[in-house]
Structures are given as structure tokens and as C-alpha cells.
Amino acid sequence: MKVIVDCDTGNDDAWAIFALLRSEERFKFNVIAITCVHGNCDVHNSVRNTLKVLEVCNRSDIPVFAGARSHLIYDPDKKEEKFHGDDGFSGVYDSSEKPSYDLVQKKHAVEAIRDYIEENPDEIVIIATAPLTNIALLYKLYPDVIPKIKSLHIMGGNHLGVGNITRHAEFNFYSDPEAAHIVFADTKCPIYVFPWEPCVESSVLMPFEEFRINVLSSNDNIYTKFLDPIEKVAYKGWKEWMPCDLFLAVTFIFPEIIKRSEEHHITIELAGTHTRAMMVMDHLKKQKPNATIIKEIDTERFKNFLKWICNHTVDEL
């Protein structure tokens, strides 16, 4: 399989990219491109952070494309989420220490995704860990490619109405509700959604100090060495670690980790006073399902997989 990662690189996107690149050979897929979008930070910082992540992995062979600089509809009253800081990496790394922008492709991300799909019909998997602006623009500009996508994996939304940026909206969908609505309305391939609620289930929450730092960072691997300074700032005052985008990436890499999922027809609320951007499911089963919602993963297997990603010795995955 050929994978395109569409991201707004903050620390959890970085984890997702690290996991995917670490897993390519063993799990028989290739990350062929990374496209960036406005989300956790502006698209400029998203590109910069992505290049830094690839630099850590010595993977400058992967092309990086800049995409949408803003969401489809400008909302001056929209709340800004700053969990990742203004630059997406908690302001830890000196902004003057930039990777070479010669590595950024000149083509716009949306055009790049279109070209990859046209050249590889029915082979491209898109892993979206950001607001869905680039994907929605792809659908509206180049609708002929929609049925040629193999599968779409999305971190976002909420299947129980629990929000993290408003009472009823998850960050990625809240950032661009119209884009999310377009994607669920128009996609023809299988969609897999890892929503907000499984990220904060008590069974999946991992102690930040006890597991993330004391276990994963104990062998001084390149991934945690890079991310430790960022996450120690981002998670200051937090007891649990919840790398949402990493959850999605690992369910793609290693689907056996999924313990419970359900198929539903999904649409996105656009007009609700209190529920704008909420993921709405057809519990009455009046419409054909258009997505699989991942509701639970095997936490112990997930932890074991993370140890493997971070070059710890594990008995089996």
C-alpha cells in the first residue's frame, strides 16, 4: 500500500509519523508523501515541524507539500486551541533552526494528492490527523479521484457527543466543520474514524511520567529524545498521556489492536447553536453506513507496540 499522511504537525502528529516510518518495512506499506494543513498551528509551522520530524528519522526522501492556509469558512469568533503552542512544538525549538525549505515541494498539497491518486488508482491510503480542509478541497476541485482512493483513516469527531474544544465538538472537526461534512458526504472508499472519546477512556489513558517518560524514553531512542522536551511542556500539569493521532496511526498499521468498532452513517452538524461540528450518527439505521468508528483498542498491546516503535526489546507484537 502507498500512504499519504495529511497532518498539522504537533507532537501527536509527530508520533504518528514516527510510528508509520518505523513500521513500513515490517508491515508492507510505503509513506510516499506528507501533506500539511492549517490546524494545530499555521501551515508554515506545520511544514517546518514535518521537516524536522523527517530530519530526525533521516527520511528527507519523503516529499512534503504545503496545503490549505486556512479553513474553508473564516469564523472570527472561533476558539483557538493552543495545546501545542503557537508553533505546534510548544515553542521548544529555536525558530531560527529551520530545516532547509528546499525540501518543500513547489506543488500545492491538493494537487499533489490528486496526482498521486491518478498515478496509483485504488492503491492510495490517506491518513488524516488534522482538519480535513485539504481533503475537502481535493474532492471539490478533482471529484474524479474520489472513487480511486483505497481507504481514508481519520482522527477526529466524537461518537458520544463529548467535545474537547467545545462541549460537543472535537478539535479537528471543529476547526473546519464544512470540510468534515464534505468528506463524509462524498467519500466512496472505506472510512475509518478514531474519535475523541476512545482517546480519553480510563482504560487507554497512560501515565505520562510513569509510562511515557520512564518507560518509552528509558533507552534514549531518537523518537523520544526529540519529543521529550516538547511533551514535557505540553503535558505540564497533566497526569495522563493521550497521543490521539498516534492511536489512529497504530490502528492502521496494526488493526489487530482494535477490540471494538461499529459501522454507522455519519454526517457533521453545521448549524447547531451548541452542537456545530458534532459528529452525528444514524442510530435509526435509515441510511447505509459510510464509516467504521473505532471505539476501543487493546491498551496493553498498544503499549507493547509503542515499545517496539521506540526500539525496546519486546517478545511479540
Q: Where are the domains of the chain?
A: 2-309
pLDDT of residue 265: 98
pTM of the predicted structure, to 2 decimals: 0.96
- Homologous superfamily (CATH) for 2-309: Ribonucleoside hydrolase-like (3.90.245.10)
- List, in order, residues 6 or more apart from 39 with CB less than 8 Å away: 7, 8, 46, 130, 131, 172, 175
pLDDT of residue 98: 65
pLDDT of residue 315: 86
In angstroms, the CA 256 to CA 250 distance is: 10
Crossing angle, helix 11-27 and helix 244-253, to 10 degrees?
Answer: 10
pLDDT of residue 79: 66
In angstroms, the CA 158 to CA 16 distance is: 20
pLDDT of residue 142: 98
pLDDT of residue 193: 98
- List, in order, residues 6 or more apart from 239 with CB less than 8 Å away: 207, 208, 209
Q: Alpha carbon 43 to chain centroid distance?
A: 15
pLDDT of residue 164: 92
Give the phi and the psi of residue 286 in degrees, each rounded to 5. Answer: -80, -25
In angstroms, the CA 62 to CA 33 distance is: 6
In angstroms, the CA 196 to CA 130 distance is: 13
Low-confidence spans in the chain with pLDDT less than 70: 79-80, 95-100
